[in-house]
Amino acid sequence: MINFKPKPCKSCEVVFIPRGNNQKYCDACAKEVKLISNRRNELKYRLNHPTEKRVRDSNYYQTHKEEKLARGNERRRLLRIKVLSHYANGTPKCACCGESHIQFLGIDHIDGNGGKHKATIKRPGNQFYSWLKKNNFPSGFRVLCHNCNLSLGFYGFCPHQQR
């Protein structure tokens, strides 16, 4: 068995023991370099063979359509629960009436400018939850059930607050 001398990684300069003469990167950096190389090769292929890439992607989508849609639905459902949980400080529930069925809950703009805000960020529907996450859950939002949220929007108050 050949023993190789320790040498610094070409990327992070951490000293490691190579497994062969040609190893330039430690294991962690080698994975990253390979990932970058694969992405670069995929981009080159996409640029040089646009029709073949389009056909290949279309065929893949057609054969895996149900799985792809199910993964997307699950990802959006989990994102929605994560956002609602964050703004409800744990368990998602309406800040006004206490409703806890996820299907009835949504995000409310506390200062009441939801329509204007959504128009400026151009994120309709589920994309709004992505925007909240990407912007590190900004303040000014809360969880309300759709009944309380619509009542506040239409009438300026919620019947639960008048009891």
pLDDT at position 111: 82
pLDDT in tens, 50-78: 999 899 999 999 999 999 999 999 999 99
Of the listed ranges 32-36, 88-92, 124-128, the least confidently predicted one is: 124-128
The domain segmentation of the chain, as residue ranges, is 25-63, 76-162
Residue 29 tokens, joined: 């950096």
Please state, as a whole number, how many other Cβ atoms lie within 10 Å of the Cβ of residue 96: 20
Distance separating alpha carbons of residues 152 and 67, to the nearest angstrom:
39
Please choose, from the candidates 89, 100, 101, 79, the residue with its C-alpha nearest in 3D space to the C-alpha of residue 142: 89
For range 95-122, the mean pLDDT: 86
What 72-75 contacts at long range (C-beta under 8 Å, 24+ apart), as own/partner pairs, is none
Residue 108 near residue 149, CB atoms below 8 Å: yes
pLDDT at position 159: 86
Please choose, from the candidates 133, 17, 21, the residue with its C-alpha nearest in 3D space to the C-alpha of residue 75: 133
Pairing verdict, β 15-16 and 7-8? antiparallel
Distance separating alpha carbons of residues 40 and 51, to the nearest angstrom:
18
For range 109-119, the mean pLDDT: 79
Band the pLDDT of 1: cuts 50, 70, 90.
low
Tokens 């009835």 found at: 104
Res. 124: pLDDT tops 80:
no
Res. 38: pLDDT tops 80:
yes
Hey, is 111 helix, strand or coil?
coil
Angle, vertex CA 76, rays to CA 71 and CA 77, nearest 5: 95
